[in-house]
Amino acid sequence: MSDFDRNEILTPGARLRRIEELLAERGSLSLRDALAEMTVSEMTLRRDFANLERLGLVERTWGGILPKRPLVPEVGHDEREQTEAGAKRTI
């Protein structure tokens, strides 16, 4: 968790970064949870969710958002091939 103060007034960019942090921590983020974390109106958060969707970063759901990109970076073929190589040879 970050050292975020719930009562701190955030710029739009800082709000979007905070939403992304919460989404990464939780895997999904409801409007209700986001409202509990930040001192902004429901309409402000709805616009922020819409902006993140427009940027292609999230998918809107009923009452919240989900990440569009994987939260865990995908591992390339070469790296997967080297992972546990000894055990794979044994098998």
Q: What is the pLDDT of residue 27?
A: 92
Q: How crowded is the C-beta side of 12, counted as CA atoms within 13 Å?
A: 8
Out of 50-54, 56-60, 77-81, which region has the weakest mean confidence (pLDDT)? Answer: 77-81
Binned at pLDDT 50, 70 and 90, residue 54 comes out as: very high
Residue 39 scores a pLDDT above 80: yes
Cα-based distances in Å from 13 to 9, 16, 74, 76: 12, 5, 27, 32
pTM over cut 0.75 = no
- What percent of the chain has a predicted confidence (pLDDT) above 70? 81
Residue 53 or residue 10, greater confidence = 53
